[in-house]
Amino acid sequence: MSRLDSFIRRLEAQRACLNRAAQLIAALPGNVLEFGLGNGRTYDHLRETLRERDIYVFERKVAAHPDCIPPDDRLFLGDFLESLPKAIAQLGRNTALANLDIGSGDEEASKQLARAMLPSVLQLLKPGSILISDQPVESADLEALPLPAGIKPGRYFLHRRR
């Protein structure tokens, strides 16, 4: 498979997971967290899909398209592990959906970052909330959910907070 085809499949899988998560939280109030703004495509999709939700973004350094940069009061800028305690203090356990799009191309470093972030992310997730991750995560506080049809296992991970 070409790198272009792989990229397209990854984006299709990501969109399918985001859309499924939006359905799963339809009756659950709460904010949305986006970890990894990148160029802003996912954030823009979340804004369109979940218009009534407050969306908070975590990013090391903003380099997104100007139309896809969140307002300053919804942006946690800097290292994820340093930003998470601030978010916990500010937001509490009021998150209905968190999307961890943190893969860096260094597979082991990305997995380690997900493991390090997870305890703090769990403090933000309310019961019944959904966690999407591009990295494997494990916790007794999470129930693995089936991926939308057509997504190769291991490409994304979908969980519900117990």
> Could you give the number of structural domains in the chain?
1
Angle among Cα 124, 104, 89 to the nearest 5 degrees reads 20
- In percent, how much of the chain has pLDDT > 90? 98
Assign 101 a pLDDT band (cuts: 50, 70, 90).
Answer: very high
- In percent, how much of the chain has pLDDT > 70? 100
* Residue 63: predicted pLDDT: 94
* Residue 85: predicted pLDDT: 98
CATH number for the domain that contains residue 121: 3.40.50.150
**For range 34-59, the mean pLDDT:** 97
pLDDT higher than 90, residue 105: no
What is the pTM assigned to this prediction? Answer: 0.96
Q: Convert the pLDDT of each residue in 113-124 to its tens digit.
A: 999 999 999 999
Owning domain of residue 144: 3-161
